[in-house]
Amino acid sequence: MGNPRPFVGGELEPEFEQEMLDFIERYGNSPRFIAYNSAEEPDWHKSETPYPVTMTTLARTEALRKVAPRHPIAGTLCRFRRFYQFAPIFDIPIMDAYRVGAPSADKGPLRWGNYLESVSAYTQDLKRNSEPSPIWVWAQGVHTWSGRAFVDGQIGNPIPTPSEARAQLYMQLGEGAKGVLWFRYMTPDNMENTYRNDFKKMKERIEELEKQRELRDWMKGWQVSESDLEAAFTQCREFRADTWAATQEMNTEMCMLRPILSRGDVYPRVWVQSASDRRKIYLAAIASDQAIVLFVANLDYDFRPRGYRFKPQKGIRIGIDRPYGCHLRNQPGLSKVSR
């Protein structure tokens, strides 16, 4: 049935309107554009009176619909449990929830790390509040956030590892995401320069706070030498290369599965029968008329500044009720799509 769309009216910001109209008049009908993003995290700030923000977002979206009637209008959201407030406005609601070393609308157990599995809850919440519209997600890839660059006086890994990126993406796909945008692509030089600047700023900030005696606990252990930093910048390129390669692999996997994932939907009748620790296995399925795709993630990991450490699970047994309308043979084939 989808949600009701009760919003009407709202005021447009004149500057936004002019900028948008000028752009779309010039380029807007190009087939290179598949959608317009009318809002970028309007739910980021907690607000006692969120109504005006919602109305502004609605006004922007309506204005875009008028000038680009053949394009879907998207919007990016970030605050879990408040997606209901904005998601019905858009043709394609999108959400971002980067779980490693990045700012987040929810509080994680650590300053620099959150539970990977919470990305599935985010995606579920967006889907439920957006139906029947398709949802897209921002996936955490090679990015610029530096929350895990320096942890407890030591150099960390600012970039999600391939395992961290893979687990997050698979949980998003398993919850029914129909489109994926990577946050983001960066060249090696761009990446290194960004982190050089981040470290420089952090060092200046620590020195400033030391003078004011207001140093926070997590900054007190600064013991990083110049040579340590140079080694870290070099290693940053290696971290980036690994994650970059993994994102290429995941792109290939998604392209292969596109015919199934785009037509299928979340199928709940799957379960983990046994594993080393079956409470720490994520399992989800997308069923189409031709096939089932299972997404499995290992949630038995420790938070580590240089990348979450996964403890391998053994002897995993999964049960599946055959979905009605999915035309499988009695003994269907199995293919491992991922690496």
Partner 1 sequence: MTSMETQQENGELAIELDSLQDAAIILIGDKELADSLTPDTRSILP
Q: Which residues sit at the interface with partner 1, rule CB under 8 A?
A: 162-164, 166-167, 170, 173, 185, 248, 251-253, 255-257, 259-260, 273, 275, 281, 290-298, 310, 312-322, 328-338
Q: Are 299 and 316 in contact (CB under 8 A)?
A: no
Of 91 and 164, which has the nearer Cβ to partner 1?
Answer: 164
Q: Are 74 and 90 in contact (CB under 8 A)?
A: yes
Q: What is the rounded CA–CA span in Å between residue 134 and residue 286?
A: 14
Q: CB burial class (10 A; 0-12, 13-18, 19+) of residue 230?
A: exposed
Q: Are 265 and 282 in contact (CB under 8 A)?
A: no
Of 122 and 295, which has the nearer Cβ to partner 1?
Answer: 295
DSSP β-ladder status, 270-274 and 265-266? unpaired
Of 87 and 270, which has the nearer Cβ to partner 1?
Answer: 270
Of 77 and 281, which has the nearer Cβ to partner 1?
Answer: 281
Instruction: Give 329-332's long-range contacts (Cβ < 8 A, gap of 24+).
Output: 332/291
Rounded alpha-carbon distances, angstroms, from residue 324 to 176, 265, 287, 328 = 18, 13, 10, 10
Q: Are 95 and 135 in contact (CB under 8 A)?
A: yes
Provide, rounded to whole angstroms, the least separation between the CB of residue 121 and partner 1.
Answer: 17
Return the residue matching tokens 């519209």: 133
Distance of CA 321 to the CA centre of its chain: 30
Provide, rounded to whole angstroms, the least separation between the CB of residue 180 and partner 1.
Answer: 9
Provide, rounded to whole angstroms, the least separation between the CB of residue 186 and partner 1.
Answer: 11
Of 231 and 245, which has the nearer Cβ to partner 1?
Answer: 245
Q: Which residues of 183-215 are buried (b: 16+ CB within 10 A; e: fewer)?
A: beebeeeebbebbeebbeebeeebeeeeeeeeb
Provide, rounded to whole angstroms, the least separation between the CB of residue 12 and partner 1.
Answer: 33
Provide, rounded to whole angstroms, the least separation between the CB of residue 257 and partner 1.
Answer: 7
Provide, rounded to whole angstroms, the least separation between the CB of residue 110 and partner 1.
Answer: 19
Of 103 and 319, which has the nearer Cβ to partner 1?
Answer: 319
Of 92 and 275, which has the nearer Cβ to partner 1?
Answer: 275
Q: What is the rounded CA–CA span in Å between residue 299 and residue 211?
A: 42
Of 52 and 319, which has the nearer Cβ to partner 1?
Answer: 319
Provide, rounded to whole angstroms, the least separation between the CB of residue 149 and partner 1.
Answer: 22
Of 81 and 258, which has the nearer Cβ to partner 1?
Answer: 258
Q: Are 158 and 149 in contact (CB under 8 A)?
A: yes
Provide, rounded to whole angstroms, the least separation between the CB of residue 262 and partner 1.
Answer: 12
Rounded alpha-carbon distances, angstroms, from residue 72 to 34, 62, 96, 239 = 7, 11, 19, 36
DSSP secondary-structure letter at 88?
A: G
Provide, rounded to whole angstroms, the least separation between the CB of residue 330 and partner 1.
Answer: 6
